[in-house]
């Protein structure tokens, strides 16, 4: 109880580095066992407009794949879902849509569904205790400052029942990818962007990641996908499938808007060495190609924005000719899990896909 109380009120203790060293926090790799998964029910008509129904259908398909209910018994074989709903009206709608799944609903207002970035990041200490890390959030560099989003992290932390830590700098969960053995991937376009932490340079950011995520090695990539609202979040350009095994994308069409960026990402990953001294094995997944919205604008479509649940890997698909090939290649990287593709084209209209709208809590 004493340790929990100290951690929960960490913002009152100085220096922060000393407490972080004492507890030795780290984020488990996403393929390690989860207690639950947090999401937020798509419900804002002013944001989604006429595609809201389709967004909700894609959301339900994702939740079903994560929960993986047994058709014979109805019991979940996958993960328990913790889902935010903004009000009583949307609660009823969500309950009807997600009937039969293992769900706990929370009446917590939110700006939009990008819970990977607005919710806490759940870490474990050296004793295995889970703690919610509440980083600062500024609407992806001030671009999308929606009501309540800056409050979501603290409210989810409280609802989770975990002790919490307030971290006094800006970081979104989708900007960091860990291998569980001391290495993380991130991008300079996002973490070194002056719209996040202009007072922190690369060395200071690395120190912050070492203290909070418990990593020893930061592998820096440069730029993200064209028109990515997040300024190059790593979960759309490079992911770990196992320690020492990284995935990136490659273009198969001449007009792929991210051809050069993806070539540079693959080159940088193939030259990288992780915290254990290993050169990375790099698997290239086909890019979806040029995916556009109704107005012809290029969208940041990525097969790498998959979510790794306890039983499955759920890969976003976009109606591209490369959907099936991408799912098959990703499946080979996760031989112990079921890999499935599910449509995310409507969700992508909001700027992201499955990884962007999920946040796991480790066991």
Known catalytic residues are 356
Identify which of 54, 52, 57, 59 has the alpha carbon closest to the alpha carbon of residue 354.
Answer: 59
> How many angstroms separate the CA atoms of 280 and 244, rounded?
5
CB atoms within 10 A of CB 235: 28
Q: Residue 321's Cα: distance from chain center in Å?
A: 25
Q: Which helix (H) or strand (E) holds 195?
A: none
CB 231 within 8 A of CB 190: yes
Distances (CA, A) of 344 to 347, 349, 357: 5, 9, 11
Compute and round to an integer the Cα radius of gyration of the chain. 19
- The secondary structure of 204-252 as a DSSP string is HHHHHHHHHH--SEEEEE----TT-TTSS-GGGT-EEEETTEEEEEE--
Both tokens assigned to 212: 């909070």
Cβ partners under 8 Å of residue 82, min gap 6: 36, 37, 38, 39, 103, 104, 106, 159, 160, 361
Residue entry with tokens 């806490």? 120
Q: Do 299 and 292 form a contact (C-beta atoms < 8 A)?
A: yes
Strands 239-242 and 80-85 turn out to be unpaired
């Amino acid at each position: 109880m004493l340790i929990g109380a100290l951690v929960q009120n960490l913002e009152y203790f100085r220096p922060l580095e000393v407490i972080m060293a004492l507890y030795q926090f780290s984020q488990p790799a996403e393929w390690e066992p989860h207690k639950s998964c947090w999401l937020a029910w798509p419900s804002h008509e002013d944001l989604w407009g006429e595609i809201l129904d389709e967004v909700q259908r894609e959301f339900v398909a994702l939740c079903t794949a994560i929960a993986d209910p047994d058709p014979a018994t109805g019991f979940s074989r996958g993960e328990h879902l913790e889902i935010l709903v903004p009000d009583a009206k949307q609660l009823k709608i969500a309950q009807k849509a997600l009937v039969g799944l293992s769900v706990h609903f929370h009446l917590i207002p939110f700006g939009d569904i990008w819970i990977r970035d607005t919710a806490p990041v759940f870490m474990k200490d050296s004793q295995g205790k889970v703690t919610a890390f509440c980083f600062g959030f500024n609407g992806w560099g001030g671009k999308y400052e929606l009501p309540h989003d800056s409050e979501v992290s603290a409210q989810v932390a409280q609802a989770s029942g975990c002790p919490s830590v307030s971290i006094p700098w800006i970081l979104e969960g989708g900007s960091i990818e860990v291998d569980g053995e001391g290495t993380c991937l991130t991008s300079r376009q996002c973490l070194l962007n002056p719209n996040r932490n202009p007072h922190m340079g690369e060395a200071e950011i690395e120190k912050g990641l070492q203290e909070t995520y418990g990593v020893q090695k930061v592998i820096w990539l440069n730029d993200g996908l064209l028109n990515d609202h997040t300024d190059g979040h790593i979960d759309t350009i490079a992911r770990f499938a196992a320690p020492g095994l990284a995935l990136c994308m490659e273009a198969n069409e001449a007009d792929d808007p991210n051809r050069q960026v993806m070539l540079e990402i693959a080159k940088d990953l193939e030259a990288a060495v992780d915290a254990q001294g290993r050169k990375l094995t790099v698997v290239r997944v086909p890019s979806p190609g040029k995916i556009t919205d109704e107005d012809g604008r290029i969208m940041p479509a990525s097969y790498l924005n998959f979510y790794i649940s306890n039983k499955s890997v759920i890969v976003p698909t976009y109606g591209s000719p490369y959907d099936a090939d991408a799912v098959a290649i990703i499946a080979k990287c996760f031989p112990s899990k079921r890999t499935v593709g599910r449509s995310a084209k409507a969700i992508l209209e909001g700027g992201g896909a499955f990884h962007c709208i999920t946040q796991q809590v480790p066991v």
